[in-house]
């Protein structure tokens, strides 16, 4: 908090001459700086919301970071949410006027990757990301437990670290699922690409996911996705198989169908790859530039 406060004061001083048209602040660590600069210069403030404290901690949290977010949203001229899901969270949990919230989905750079064949005798399900409550580790375990009853030849590879890592490791062992799990820890971007190149299914059971860029990365590698409906990625990847984060029966059924029916797996992975053509960073940038142009500069 001290560093956030110091950053906001230094930024205000640097920007004091006002030789710019708009202030654009990304997430809570830069919001106080954006608000201070707006008060100092009178320039319009745009907040870009990639993640909320209510996503990270829970719907009912009302801590210091929540207060920073709410104060900045009230002061902002426009708010950009990375998904309709996040827009609704802002309206519901922060009581912000819907009229000043725009949605600009994240994008991905067009890159072509070659598929590879893994050497496992089992199907490979990949889970990527921070292992926290937000990412749904409980639902990962529940889904695995149900799936292996009907399809035991499956491995869940978990790539990432977080405060729920030990819980996930211990629970998988307690439930006698240890042989179905591989814990890879943190992986570099190049290693993630290598992993997705051999994955059979990508799984994202997040409780609250503002976007979920890893689902787009999976689609780049022609990997079909089974993802939470409580995510921004579900809004743009229409070919993904979606369920509420708590519906582990449906998650397990989806994976079983993907393993059993090669044609389904190929169809959905190619459809997802095609959808990426309309989900680019250039498209996102064009929409943001349009929002800038709607603002009246002083």
Residue range 12-66, pLDDT digits in tens: 999 998 899 999 999 999 999 999 999 999 999 999 999 999 999 888 899 999 9
What CATH code is assigned to 123-278? 3.40.50.2000
As a whole number, mean pLDDT of residues 7-12 equals 96
- Give the closest residue to 232 by CA, choosing from 246, 245, 247, 213: 213
Task: Decide the pairing of beta strands 78-81 and 101-103.
Answer: parallel
The first and second tokens of residue 107, run together, are 């994008």
The dihedrals phi and psi of 58, each to the nearest 5 degrees, come to 140, 155
* pLDDT band, residue 297 (cuts 50/70/90): low
Q: 35 — alpha (psi -120 to 50), left (phi > 0) or beta?
A: alpha
pLDDT tens-digit map of 121-160? 999 999 999 999 999 999 999 999 999 999 999 999 999 9
Query: Hey, do 2-107+281-294 and 123-278 end up sharing a CATH topology, with the first three levels equal?
Result: yes
**Count of CA atoms in the C-beta half-sphere (13 A) of 216:** 22
Show me where the domains of the chain are located. Answer: 2-107+281-294, 123-278
Two tokens, residue 63? 């801590």
Mean of pLDDT values over 62-78: 97
Using CA atoms, how far apart are residues 33 and 25, in angstroms rounded to an integer?
Answer: 8
Distance CA 46, CA 166 (A): 39
- Which CATH superfamily is 2-107+281-294 part of? Glycogen Phosphorylase B; (3.40.50.2000)
Give the pLDDT band of residue 298 (cuts 50, 70, 90). Answer: very low
Express each pLDDT in 93-130 by its tens digit.
Answer: 999 999 999 999 999 988 888 899 898 999 999 999 99
Contact 79, 102 (CB under 8 A): yes
Kindly report, residue by residue over 205-251, the tens digit of the pLDDT. 999 999 999 999 999 999 999 999 999 999 999 999 999 999 999 99
Average pLDDT, the chain: 95
What angle separates helix 189-196 from helix 213-220, to the nearest 10 degrees? 60
**φ and ψ of 231, to 5 deg:** -150, 155
pLDDT of 296 over the 80 cut: no
């Amino acid at each position: 908090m001290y560093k956030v406060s110091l950053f906001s004061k230094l930024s205000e001083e640097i920007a004091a001459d006002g030789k710019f048209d708009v202030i654009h602040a990304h997430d809570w660590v830069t919001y106080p700086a954006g608000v201070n600069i707006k008060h100092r210069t009178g320039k319009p403030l745009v907040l870009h919301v990639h993640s909320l404290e209510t996503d990270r901690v829970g719907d009912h949290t009302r801590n210091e970071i929540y207060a920073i977010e709410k104060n900045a949203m009230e002061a902002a001229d426009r708010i950009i949410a990375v998904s309709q899901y996040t827009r609704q969270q802002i309206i519901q949990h922060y009581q912000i006027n819907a009229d000043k919230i725009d949605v600009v989905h994240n994008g991905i750079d067009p890159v072509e990757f070659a598929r590879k064949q893994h050497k496992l005798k089992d199907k490979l399900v990949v889970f990527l990301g921070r292992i926290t409550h937000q990412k749904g580790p409980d639902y990962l375990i529940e889904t695995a437990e149900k799936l292996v009853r009907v399809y035991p030849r499956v491995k869940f590879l978990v790539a990432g670290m977080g405060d729920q890592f030990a819980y996930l490791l211990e629970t998988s062992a307690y439930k006698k699922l240890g042989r179905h799990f591989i814990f890879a820890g943190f992986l570099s971007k190049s290693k993630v690409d290598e992993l997705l190149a051999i994955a059979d299914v990508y799984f994202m059971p997040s409780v609250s996911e503002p976007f979920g860029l890893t689902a787009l990365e999976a689609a780049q590698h022609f990997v079909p996705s089974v993802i939470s409906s409580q995510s921004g990625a579900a809004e743009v990847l229409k070919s993904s198989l979606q369920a509420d984060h708590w519906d582990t029966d449906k998650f397990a059924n989806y994976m079983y169908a993907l393993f059993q029916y090669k044609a389904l797996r190929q169809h959905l992975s190619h459809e997802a790859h095609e959808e990426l053509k309309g989900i680019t960073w250039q498209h996102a940038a064009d929409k943001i530039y349009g929002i800038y142009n709607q603002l009246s500069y002083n």
